[in-house]
Amino acid sequence: MATEEEANRARELHADALVKHGAHAVGVASGRPYGKRGFVVVAYVSPGHPHDLPETVTSKIGKSEVDVAVVKKIAERFAPE
């Protein structure tokens, strides 16, 4: 179970790697809607777009290390009007 601070740190550390694995955006949210405890990293992927996302990413704050769940959310890329 990750705190919001730990999840945000994991997002900062791993956002570029998640994009390389198919995400077009990366955020942090409460894990409750996804059936997870604490906070999670949310990787947004386009419908039908191939992706290979890890199940967790690691957050390290000081000497403390925690695995943060990565959840996939299908969403179209934002397109400016």
Question: What is the per-residue pLDDT across 30-40, written as a single tens digit (0 to 9) for each?
Answer: 999 999 999 99
First CA to last CA distance, the chain: 39
Does 16 have pLDDT greater than 90? Answer: yes
Give, as one character, the DSSP assignment of residue 77. P
What's the confidence (pLDDT) of residue 81? 72
Does 79 have pLDDT greater than 80? Answer: no
pLDDT band of 24, cuts 50, 70, 90:
very high
With 0-12 / 13-18 / 19 or more C-beta atoms within 10 angstroms meaning exposed / middle / buried, residue 43 is: buried
pLDDT in tens, 37-77: 999 999 999 988 778 899 999 998 888 899 999 999 988 88
Q: Provide φ and ψ at 12, rounded to 5°.
A: -60, -45
